[in-house]
């Protein structure tokens, strides 16, 4: 396993990061089996583990904590905060009140004294970014976290956070965690170049496009829309929908590329994400040992220029054929008031 420096922190992390989202009630609820998968990943040279408080409502963090007993010093541990962890107000978001509360809960569940990388899971435009950065800076100074980053932030928010930190003498986001895959290349336009200019490390998620690139979905075959990710967002996978035609067309061509290389489509997908110069680490999210072994089998795959050129022909750089993040959309898109002047003020004359 190769290692890369994470966002100027001096911390070296494996090019594959073990994502723990599928450990717990939403995926593999067998704690002992999940621990075995984590141990196998560590034994293979992966030293970077990423989870979040909201994954199975804390159960994922508990499983990771069990797995890291006796091995904590050898692992770069990342988790995230933002999404609600209960009913009622003030139990989510990016406020100082919530961050300071929830970091203690994550430390308890992870059974550790510190978190190497604490990430803000999504933007929160009801909270000043200075408030968030100030709280995170205090946690670094208190020794509870070593560094902090963002997840699925637009480039404009990354730039704002950088300049606020600079003006106020606060620590800055060291990393960004965006979705990136063969079918979701939109971040190549602004997010990845911005992260590179700001010296941020990048750990990408969903290299298999929520299973669309798993190799088990093909055009002309029935897609089970009652199980897994397809049951949650069937509109993404339903081959009868016209908006999915381009995805299925690209999928068939990408399978041809993988076949020509003698590798699987998932191996191609993970290798593609790792090849971008702005990407530090690619998050893989196995649910079972078989999933992990299949991913590790392709760890040595290095794509040549001809292959990457062919991928560019199939899905042009900066193109999103697949919208990875179905859990969050910026308020400027969801709140009509942000796009419409008050009635009576919209006409030009």
Catalytic amino acids? 55
Those residues whose C-beta lies under 8 Å from the C-beta of residue 256, and which sit 6 or more positions away, are none
Token pair in block for residue 61: 């963090």
Q: What angle do the packed helices 289-297 and 31-43 form, to 10 degrees?
A: 20
Q: DSSP string covering 234-264, please?
A: HHHH-TTSGGGHHHHHHHHHHHHHHHHHTS-
SS3 140: helix
Return the residue matching tokens 């994400």. 273
Scanning the chain, the segments in alpha helix (DSSP H) are 31-43, 59-67, 96-110, 129-141, 155-168, 191-197, 228-232, 234-237, 245-261, 265-275, 289-297, 305-314, 331-334
């Amino acid at each position: 396993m190769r290692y890369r420096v994470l966002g100027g922190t001096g911390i070296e992390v494996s090019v594959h990061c073990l994502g723990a989202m599928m450990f717990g009630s939403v995926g593999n609820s067998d704690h002992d089996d999940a621990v075995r998968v984590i141990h196998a990943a560590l034994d293979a040279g992966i030293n970077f583990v990423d989870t979040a408080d909201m994954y199975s409502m804390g159960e994922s963090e508990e499983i990771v904590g069990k797995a890291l007993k006796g091995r904590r010093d050898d692992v770069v541990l990342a988790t995230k905060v933002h999404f609600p962890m209960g009913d009622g107000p003030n139990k989510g978001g990016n406020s100082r009140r919530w961050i300071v509360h929830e970091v203690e809960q994550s430390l308890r569940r992870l059974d550790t004294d510190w978190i190497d990388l604490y990430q803000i899971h999504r933007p929160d435009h009801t909270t000043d970014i200075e408030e968030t950065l100030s709280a995170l800076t205090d946690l670094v100074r208190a020794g509870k976290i070593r560094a902090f980053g963002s997840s699925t932030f637009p480039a404009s928010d990354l730039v704002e956070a950088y300049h606020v930190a600079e003006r106020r003498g606060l620590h800055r986001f060291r990393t960004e965690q965006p979705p990136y895959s063969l079918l979701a290349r939109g971040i190549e336009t602004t997010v990845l170049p911005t992260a590179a200019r700001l010296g941020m490390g990048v750990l990408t998620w969903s290299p298999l496009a929520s299973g669309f690139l798993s190799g088990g979905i093909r055009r002309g075959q029935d897609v089970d829309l009652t199980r897994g990710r397809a049951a949650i967002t069937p509109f993404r996978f339903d081959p009868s929908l016209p908006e999915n035609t381009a995805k299925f067309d690209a999928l068939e061509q990408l399978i041809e590329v993988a076949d020509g290389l003698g590798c699987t489509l998932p191996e191609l997908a993970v290798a593609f994400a790792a090849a971008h110069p702005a990407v530090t680490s690619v998050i893989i999210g196995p649910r079972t040992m078989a999933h992990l072994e299949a991913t590790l089998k392709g760890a040595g795959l290095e794509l040549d220029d001809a292959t990457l050129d062919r991928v560019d022909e199939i899905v042009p750089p900066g193109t999103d054929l697949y919208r990875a993040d179905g859990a969050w959309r910026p308020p400027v898109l969801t709140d009509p008031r942000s796009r419409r002047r008050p009635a009576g003020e919209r006409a030009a004359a």
